[in-house]
Structure 1
Amino acid sequence: MSILSDNMRYLRAQQKYPQQKVADDLLITRGRYAKYEDGATEPPIEILIRISKYYRVSIDLLVGLDVRKYSLEKMMNLPDNRTILPIMVDEKGENKIEVIPEKAQMGYLQGYSDPGHIEKLQTISLPFLRNGKYRAFPATGDSMPPFKNGTFIVGKYVENINDLRNNKTYIFITQNEGVVYKRFEKKTIRNITVSSDNPLYKPYDIKLSELMEIWEYACSINTVEFETETLDMMTVKDMFLSLKKEIDLIRKK
Structure 2
Amino acid sequence: MKFFADNLKFLRKKAGLSQEQLGERIALNRGNIASYEKGTAEPRLENVLKIVKLFNIELSDLLEKDLSNSAAIQEELEKMGLPNEAAPIPADEATAHLKAELIDNRARLERFMSQSDDMQKILEGFRQFHKFKMSKSSDISRDVKNIADDYENLLEVMDALLLSHKELIKFLDESK
Q: TM-score range by the shorter chain?
A: 0.3 to 0.5
Choose between structure 1 and 2: higher strand proportion: 1
Q: Which structure exhibits the higher relative contact order, with contacts defined as CA atoms closer than 8 Å and separated by 6 or more residues?
A: 2
Choose between structure 1 and 2: higher helix proportion: 2
- Which of structures 1 and 2 has the bigger CA Rg? 2
TM-score by length of 1: 0.28
